[in-house]
Amino acid sequence: MSVTTSPVLEYTTDMLRNLAQADVARALAEDVGTGDLTAALVPASKIARARILAREAAIICGGPWAEAALRQAAPSAQWNWRVAEGQRCQPDQTVLELTGPARGLLTAERTVLNFLQLLSAVATRTADYVAAISEASGSHANVRGRIVDTRKTLPGLRLAQKYAVHCGGGWNHRIGLYDAVLIKENHIAAAGGVTEVLAQVRATPSIAGVAQFVEIEVETLAQLEEALQAGATMVLLDNMDLPTLREAVRLNAGRAILEVSGGVNMGTVREIAATGVDRISIGALTKDVKAIDFSMRFMDL
């Protein structure tokens, strides 16, 4: 069975630019308010050269947001990326060079850095998990899992964070509640059981016509077997230990796409991948983010 990314987001230049423009407008409104009081101390005619440094190794992500902040706060600024989007930088490496009005650069500084530190952190963590899966495939022939994100994102920044997962080599899960069906334990309980809730999906054509996919969460092997018998094509294995995961893969026998959730970290992801599951979803990619350290420094003043 082929593993698909669902839903598919096309990160075109126009899509990213429009998304970044909206995100940055909110961020600047929050930060600048009625005006940058401190930047007003700098002569309006002052032109500055600056560089943004990464203080640690990272996958660079967030270029469209940095550029949007510069366009909005320092429209005449010019810039040159020294490390391209999605590429790895080294500690103390210059990733971006800037020239423009000092006031505008100072006003844009924190917003530029905030987006770079957040999105680069998500991309970097994702890349680490992807690399771990790749390493596991060298010693386990049945490794085929994909690292997948979740809806555990910062409010208002979901698409930005999902783009960062993509930038780090991960795959996107559903975007929200509107584009795919993920039946969890409370849905199952409210509907009366696994078989009943899957039957309800088939009886609701409006869902089937819109949903990118239908996935059901199970907590036991008995629930898995029931879901497969009821025609499930995508199953989320929730918080199962390794022996149970291996048995789930055996029982499934390729009938459905199997996704693992819960208990995934850098210490466990290789062994989970080695069970032969198709997807490994990790909320920590976007939820538990430790920002990458960036700084901006003026030059030649």
pLDDT value at residue 209: 79
Does residue 4 carry a pLDDT above 60?
no
Domain identity same for 137 and 281: yes
Measured N-to-C along each axis, helices 158-167 and 13-32 cross at an angle, to the nearest 10 degrees, of 130
Q: Residue 277 falls within a domain, yes or no?
A: yes
Domain identity same for 241 and 144: yes
Please tell me the total number of residues recorded for the chain in this structure: 301
pLDDT band at 6 (very low <50, low <70, confident <90, very high): very low
Catalytic residues: 110, 152, 184, 217, 238
Domain identity same for 146 and 273: yes
Domain identity same for 195 and 221: yes
Please write the tens of the pLDDT for every residue from 230-243: 999 999 999 999 99
The Cα–Cα gap between 103 and 89 comes to: 28
Give the domain CATH number at 197. Answer: 3.20.20.70
State pTM to two decimals. Answer: 0.94
Domain identity same for 124 and 141: no
Q: Residue 258 falls within a domain, yes or no?
A: yes
Task: Report, in angstroms and rounded to the nearest whole number, the Rg of the chain calculated over CA atoms.
Answer: 23
- Number of independent structural domains in the chain: 2
DSSP 243-260: HHHHHHHHHHTTSSEEEE
Does residue 39 carry a pLDDT above 60?
yes
> In this structure, is the dihedral angle defined by the CA atoms of residues 268, 269, 275 and 279, taken in order, positive or negative?
positive
Domain identity same for 66 and 137: no
β-pairing, 88-89 vs 58-59, is antiparallel
The Cα–Cα gap between 129 and 109 comes to: 30
Q: Residue 3 falls within a domain, yes or no?
A: no
Residue carrying the six token digits 């996935």 = 215
Query: What are the backbone angles phi and psi of residue 295, rounded to the nearest 5°?
Result: -145, 155
Q: Tell me how crowded residue 33 is: count the other CB atoms within 10 A of its CB.
A: 9
**Full domain range(s) for residue 44:** 13-128+289-299
The Cα–Cα gap between 94 and 295 comes to: 10
Domain identity same for 103 and 152: no
Does residue 225 carry a pLDDT above 50?
yes
Does residue 206 carry a pLDDT above 90?
no
Quickly list H helices, the chain.
13-32, 63-73, 102-137, 158-167, 185-191, 194-202, 205-208, 221-229, 242-252, 269-274
Domain identity same for 41 and 162: no
Domain identity same for 64 and 166: no
Contacts 24+ apart (CB under 8 A), 255-262: 255/1, 255/228, 256/1, 256/227, 256/228, 256/232, 257/1, 257/3, 257/4, 257/233, 259/148, 259/215, 259/234, 259/235, 260/145, 260/236, 261/150, 261/217, 261/236, 261/237, 262/238
The Cα–Cα gap between 120 and 63 comes to: 10
> In this structure, is the dihedral angle defined by the CA atoms of residues 158, 94, 295 and 14, taken in order, positive or negative?
negative
Domain identity same for 211 and 273: yes
Domain identity same for 123 and 144: no
Q: Residue 2 falls within a domain, yes or no?
A: no
pLDDT value at residue 138: 62
SS3 59: strand
Please write the tens of the pLDDT for every residue from 130-140: 999 987 666 55
pLDDT value at residue 9: 78
Domain identity same for 124 and 145: no
